[in-house]
Chains A and B, each alone.
Chain A
Amino acid sequence: MAYFLSALITSLAGIAAHGILIASGLVRIDPDKSILKLKRHWQILLIVWAALLPLFIYLSGVFNSCGMIARIGQSAWFFGMAGITFLGMLFFVYLTFYYVVDRSITTRLMMEIERSPEKRLTFEEITKVYDLDTKYRNEIQGIVDGGFMRREGEYFVNTPKGAAVAGITSWYKKVFKLGPGG
């Protein structure tokens, strides 16, 4: 329980540190270059997480010396929750892989190139086999099916759920200087 709690608290500190570093401008990342920008964010996060390891160790010591936390940490109930949490974490890691297989645009692009007779395509040929408008309509339909948008005549409008996602994403992109993205 002690190590679990200190992992949670140290991670929160890591997220806060990431936010402060980016929002304050102490670390500047060009928001225009997509994959390089994300690579930089991942590197910064790894550095922050590694740098906060002493905090993780310190907090673990503090929580381990707390009798109540130590007792909870020895209980079958906590062990059971740890097992379910572990299963959930493994599921999430798998889900990131699943979504690359199921939904990734880049995966589809590489597959279309591979499927083509000469295994090479121009951009215009790519858009013939992987139609932009169809892609767009499928994405919108997915958003509507998920309850994030609804259709009113020829217009699309966010539902409260969609507005919440839009608001949070918009705020995050602004604070973390990600640019419009998408």
Chain B
Amino acid sequence: MLTALIIGAVGFADFLLSHIIVFHYRPPKKRFRMLMVLLVSTAFFYALVFWVLVRFGVAARLDALVPQQLMALLFGAFVYFFIWYFYAHLVVVFDRSVTPRMMIEVYTAPGKKLTFEGMKERYSMRDKFVRELDDMVYMGRIERKGDIYMNTPKGLTHAKVMTFLREYLHIGGHQ
């Protein structure tokens, strides 16, 4: 199993590198689709690499370096805590994500349809912004003095890192 996990990790590193290069030099219009194309092609390539290593006995020699049960336990534990991480994020998406809330408003509206103005009446983006700012004040990324908002050092670092990444990867401009 060690070989498979190393291949998985190397595959992910390769995906990340490809993603950075493609997004920086040839920014795609459909970004999520490109991420999936990169992921699937990486997975196929490294699955092939793995099978070659198995076929020529390299995998067996590498796997013998670490007790099989230990690798299986570590992988199982990783899966267990990954599912926690996945589910915890699902809770965040269900709760905070703008798009499902908009779909719910349409779903529960009379006639199950809404105009743009109708949607704004039921779900205020202004209130959303206020809540987000309040949350950032609570998290120590923004401080509020009267009606003025300023970044804290933590918020400033966040803003600078994100600005760099958005510009380098050419993402985030559609908001």
Contact = CB atoms under 8 A, between A and B. Distances in A.
Interface in A124-182: 126-127, 130, 132-133, 135-140, 142-143, 148-149, 152, 154-158, 162-163, 165-167, 169-170, 172-173, 176, 178-182
B156 A105 contact: no
A4 B158 contact: no
Report whether over half of chain B's contact residues are helix, strand or loop; otherwise say mixed: helix
A11 B88 CA distance: 12
A106 B119 contact: no
Given A49-B84, A173-B95, 13 more contacts: A14-B83, A34-B96, A83-B7, A83-B11, A86-B12, A90-B12, A110-B159, A139-B102, A154-B116, A156-B113, A163-B112, A166-B107, A182-B97
Nearest to A56: B80
Given A41-B91, A101-B169, A121-B149, A110 B155 contact: yes
Contact of B100 (A87, A140, A154, A165): A165
A20 interface: no
A52 to B, nearest CB: 9
Contacts of A87: 8-9, 11-12, 15, 39, 42-43, 46
Interface string A2-27: 11101110110011001000000000
B115 A170 contact: no
A159 to B, nearest CB: 10
A73 B142 CA distance: 50
Among B47, B51, B102, B165, find the residue whose CB has the most chain A CB atoms closer than 10 A: B102
Contacts, number: 313
Interface in B137-168: 138-139, 141-142, 147-151, 155-156, 158-160, 162-163, 165-166
A45 to B, nearest CB: 5
A103 B92 CA distance: 14
A111 B162 contact: yes
Interface of B: 1, 3-5, 7-9, 11-12, 15-16, 31, 35, 39, 42-43, 46-47, 50-51, 54, 59, 63, 68, 72-73, 75-89, 91-92, 94-104, 106-108, 112-116, 119-120, 123, 125-126, 128-136, 138-139, 141-142, 147-151, 155-156, 158-160, 162-163, 165-166, 169, 171-172, 174-175
Contact of A158 (B59, B107, B116, B132): B107
Contacts of A73: 72
14 contacts: A7-B77, A14-B84, A35-B134, A56-B80, A88-B43, A91-B12, A101-B172, A109-B132, A110-B136, A123-B129, A158-B106, A181-B94, A182-B101, A182-B128
Report whether over half of chain A's contact residues are helix, strand or loop; otherwise say mixed: helix
Nearest to B169: A101
Contacts of A182: 96-98, 100-102, 123, 128
